[in-house]
Chain A
Amino acid sequence: MMNRIRSFVSKWLLWLLVGLTLAAGFAVRLVDLQDPPLDFHPTRQLRTLIIARAAWLEMDPAADPATRELAASLASLESYEPPILETLIAVIYRILGEEVFWVGRVLNSLFWTVGGLFLFLLGRRLSGNGWAALVGLVFFMTLSFGVIASRSLQPEPWLVMWLVLFAWALDRWGERPTWRRAVMVGVLGGIAVLVKVVAAFFVASALVGVALATLGWRRAWRSAQVWVVAGLAILPVALYYLLAQGQRSSEFLSFWVVSLSGLLLETNFYADWLAMVKSLTGLTVCLVGLAGTALAAPRGRGLLAGLWLGYLLYGLVFPYQYRTHEYYHLPLLAVLGLSLIPAAAALVERLRLQPLVWRVGLGVVIAFAAFYSLYAARSTLLAADYANEPASWRRVGEALPAGSRFVALTADYGARLRYYGWRAPAATWHTGGDLELARQAGAADYDFDAAFAQLTDGMDYFLVTALGEFDAQPDLKAALSENHPLLVEGNGFLIYDLRTWR
């Protein structure tokens, strides 16, 4: 009887703590909700908002036609992935009757939390231990980097949710491979890959891992269900990219993958990769996660090893971004959260033999560490205030004569001006970072005069808002200040008149 009561209390306490972790993680992601989304990779976040705004105005019959047309022209950006999240945000704008940019922040926070719930459920399946799964969940929901990156207005946070859902379904299929489960795995994998095609690395390698662990080489190769899962996962994205984005996909692969593949031969690339992981999650957690992968039961080991392999392949295919873009590492949080669980289970089993006071004490310490991590994230979010930026960029937009064509040296490739200032540069002048990227991609030696002539040809004005970058490019500074009059010297921006020569 006492055992039954103890088991009942333990079960409810566990679910209470799961609920608290999810709620606390979600709540912290809403801190400073209405601050403009310039805290984390603004180019990427503003891109989402620019596309969502255009989609909303397109849906809204009451919208001013000129505004609708302008928003659509501003949203004609490079195509990356299908604008599913942007459309979802636009639908909510439509329901609300106004553009509320932080809707996307709430959505992504919610998606991450759902991902957390399924990570817990999957972790419990992998380890057979709810308390160990709670450890993985705490990591996933409270890591400071995760808090900041997972509320960002871009597809990655919900991509991670779809990956976790896919992994959960895949494990269930591995346990009992029915057609119904296979279709579910395929559909979830397909959605993940459609949300962002790079999910294919994780989906493919995890599928291979689980299929090999449960069926073996021969049976997996001959299994119709495996092929159906693979087909369902690939079909939607293949249709989108090959039929709708064929040329663009080829250019993207040519530049970002082929041209930059030389980085794989540089030792610095691997050092930078590790430095990036260290700064985001810490390296100890990776080491424990790898040990956890080895500790998992065969099916779970296949799944986790597959996810790790996916993370590795993703980095080898996109080496430049892995060194520079933190959000490329967001799926790692799910991989780590899951991999920690078998390791935690091994320790939890040993701790069961210790007196209750030890277990409670350690629980309190872990809770404090989680609180610390959330508090650090909250402080980071509150420390930065971008409230004045929209008005500043509106002023920049207004300072540029209507209908003029201009080239801009500006942060975020002109995204702030495009979103807040309702103006799009006809061309953007390269930053030092762009030149370095081009060099790494094997571009010919830089010729300033040729670049200046080409980019300013037919332009009316040259807008400079990245003043630090302007100072770092003396050739450009001289070419503008010596040859063209300074039309406007605003607060934090300069406009040179390219039509007039000194």
Chain B
Amino acid sequence: MSAPVKRPLWLTLCLVVVFLAGLLVRLYDLTDPPADFHPARQYHSATLARGLYAEWGGVVEGLDAGRAMVLGNSEPRIEPPIMEHLAALTYLLAGRELLWIPRLYAILFWLLGGLALAALARRAAGDWGVLIASLFYLLLPYGVSASRAFQPDPLMTALLVAGLWLLVRWWEKPTWRRALWAGLAVGAAVLAKQSVVFIAAGAFLGSVLAARGLKGALRDRQVWLMAALMAAPVLAYNFYGLTAGNLGEQYTMRFFPQLWLDPGFYLRWTRMIDGTVGILPFLLALVGLALLPRGGLRAGLLGWFAGYLVYGFVFAHHIGTHDYYQLPLIPLVALGLAAAGNALVERLLTVDARRLARLVLAGTLLAGSALALYQSYQVLKDGDYRAEPAAWRALGAAVDGDSAAVTGIFDDYGAKSIYYAGVLPTVFPSAAEVAADEAAAADFAAYFAARTEGKRFFVVADDAQAALQPWLIDHLQSTYPLILEDAVYAVYQLAP
């Protein structure tokens, strides 16, 4: 595989337009609160960042700085809070806490990952492949929503793509400098979110085995340097977290190997792939992987795919329930599609009606892009959460900011209540937990009284749970006064 030839002007222009479109669609509705995509995860990061900001002397609006620090410190540390530190630092520079700043960072990282992706696509799938990969990576509607979220995943995915690009560059010309950069980038990806270690390891193993073979790789000091750079940061973080922090707790309730024998696990996983990247693009991407020329990129991507499968089996629960666990699939599918698309384009440009073929090709890509942009725009436009902060602050005032007095059902584990109201509620058992509890079946009123002992307020802020627990809603409505109601919640007073 040799370094690619000069990029044609039409491709450069198209890429500029695609990157601009990808940027602009992500900037739409920038200042809407981050409740559009996994609010529990985004507000977790927002609370952490605000805590850091307060700790560094920032002025928090509407909340005591000490309270902001306490709430920030009470958030579990799952991975190193890189995005949160960046956000808090920028809050300091801006002089106030602005929730769209971390959104800007996520977008920026995703776009930078797009540049690395385009560089990878050029190596194996030609000019049209670059365009197809970039279109998919930047305009996929699910990707648009996910890549502007305040969570580590956009950064992690971008670093993974950059890592693979640097690995392929090392494969092309194995210098110490290239090994150093590749190791650092892949190590940073794993540090950003360590669950991705399987994918990173797969891409790394694929690339080095393609370059050196097993024996050669074991003897190559550059390979050892990369491995050390990949492993050292995350090992250090884990050592610190397990000895000085509470990282051990975070590893519980994550591994469910018993699910491997459940057919539903595979169907949920497939449904999740379907709902994020789509089954047909996924299948086409696999065909594309098979069509890639042998070499570092193909080996790296096959390793990535193998790592993704291992990752899915290890996080058997999350892979079928948390759509953002599919984020590393987007660049993989983009590159596979690039190869499959390139094969189709090559064939299209050889048919007898070449002008028609070009027209169909351009029209198809243009129509697909326009549709994808329109869908993303609609999703962002339809979700309007601007009234939520005031509503949650009103709840905070109604309960006197007393966390110990509040329980309820929340669609985000109480994350918005924590962030806006400064109230850390106790979450009432879910419908499944209630159904599994014999005491609840025997006497729900007694069960409810025991579960809410000492609480003064019950917040209903989860329509899905409310629908699943009609007995709970009946009990609340028939027994307690409704003291506050809003589009996002209802508050019942359990005791004066």
Contacts and interface: CB of A to CB of B under 8 A. Distances in A.
29 contacts: A271-B374, A283-B368, A284-B278, A284-B284, A287-B367, A287-B368, A288-B280, A288-B344, A290-B360, A291-B344, A291-B361, A291-B364, A294-B361, A295-B347, A295-B348, A295-B357, A298-B353, A301-B353, A343-B344, A346-B347, A347-B291, A347-B340, A347-B344, A351-B287, A354-B291, A365-B286, A369-B279, A369-B283, A372-B267
Interface string B285-314: 011001100000000000000000000000
A362 B290 contact: yes
Interface in B335-376: 340, 343-344, 347-348, 351-353, 356-357, 360-361, 363-365, 367-368, 371, 374-375
B80 interface: no
Contacts of B374: 271
A291 B356 CA distance: 11
Contact of B270 (A291, A295, A298, A368): A368
Given A347-B340, A372-B271, 19 more contacts: A271-B374, A274-B371, A278-B375, A284-B281, A285-B280, A287-B368, A294-B351, A294-B356, A295-B357, A343-B344, A346-B344, A347-B284, A347-B291, A350-B291, A351-B287, A358-B290, A362-B287, A372-B274, A373-B279
A369 B270 contact: yes
Contact of B290 (A287, A291, A343, A354): A354
Given A283-B371, A362-B287, A291 B340 contact: no
Interface string B264-281: 001100110010001111
A283 B365 CA distance: 12
A351 B291 contact: yes
Contacts of B357: 294-295
Nearest to A298: B352
A298 B343 CA distance: 20
B286 A362 contact: yes
Nearest to B269: A372
A108 interface: no
Which 7 A-B pairs have CB atoms at the shortest separation, nearest pair first? A294-B360, A346-B347, A358-B290, A372-B270, A284-B280, A294-B357, A287-B364
A492 B260 CA distance: 44
Residue among B290, B363, B367 facing the most chain A CB atoms (10 A cut-off) = B290
A451 interface: no
A375 B352 CA distance: 41
Contact of A372 (B279, B280, B352, B375): B279
Interface in B128-153: none
B287 to A, nearest CB: 5
B287 A294 contact: no
A479 interface: no
A366 interface: yes
A293 interface: yes
B353 A288 contact: no
A282 interface: yes
**Secondary structure class of chain B's binding surface, majority of residues:** helix
A375 B291 contact: no
Contacts of B278: 282, 284
Contacts of B279: 282, 369, 372-373
B294 to A, nearest CB: 10
A47 to B, nearest CB: 34
Contacts of B274: 372
Contacts of A346: 343-344, 347
Interface string A318-353: 000000000000000000000000010011001100
A285 B343 CA distance: 16
A385 to B, nearest CB: 19
Contacts of B368: 283-284, 287
Nearest to B356: A294
Contacts of A278: 371, 375
Interface residues of A, number: 32
Contacts of A288: 280, 284, 344
Interface in B214-271: 266-267, 270-271
Contact of B280 (A282, A293, A295, A301): A282
Nearest to B279: A369
Interface in A281-311: 282-285, 287-288, 290-291, 293-295, 298, 301
A294 B290 contact: no
A294 B363 CA distance: 12
Contacts of B351: 294-295
Given A284-B281, A362-B286, A365-B283, A291 B267 contact: no
Contacts of B360: 290-291, 293-294
Nearest to A139: B280
A291 B347 CA distance: 10
Nearest to B284: A288
Contacts of A358: 290
Contacts of B290: 351, 354, 358, 362
A347 B288 CA distance: 9
A290 B291 contact: no
Nearest to B270: A372
A348 B343 CA distance: 10
B364 A350 contact: no
A282 B277 CA distance: 11
Interface in B1-47: none
Contacts of A373: 279
A376 to B, nearest CB: 8
A274 B141 CA distance: 15
Contacts of A368: 266, 270
A346 B340 CA distance: 10
B367 A350 contact: no
Residue among A291, A365, A373 facing the most chain B CB atoms (10 A cut-off) = A291
Contacts of B270: 368-369, 372
Nearest to B288: A347
B295 to A, nearest CB: 15
Nearest to B352: A298
Given A287-B364, A295-B347, A366 B283 contact: yes
A376 B279 CA distance: 13
Nearest to B274: A372
A291 B352 CA distance: 14
Contacts of A375: 267
Contacts of B286: 362, 365
A119 B361 CA distance: 25
A290 B364 CA distance: 7
A312 to B, nearest CB: 13
A142 B17 CA distance: 37
Nearest to B374: A271
Contacts of A290: 360, 363-364
Residue among A271, A347, A362, A373 facing the most chain B CB atoms (10 A cut-off) = A347
A369 B364 CA distance: 25
Contacts of B267: 372, 375-376
A282 B375 CA distance: 13
Contacts of B271: 372, 376
A284 B347 CA distance: 19
Contact of B343 (A271, A274, A283, A350): A350
A291 B371 CA distance: 17
Interface string B365-400: 101100100110000000000000000000000000
Contacts of A284: 278, 280-281, 284, 368
Contact of B348 (A285, A287, A291, A372): A291
Contacts of B283: 362, 365-366, 369
B344 A295 contact: yes
A278 B281 CA distance: 14
A372 B367 CA distance: 28
Contact of A347 (B343, B361, B365, B371): B343
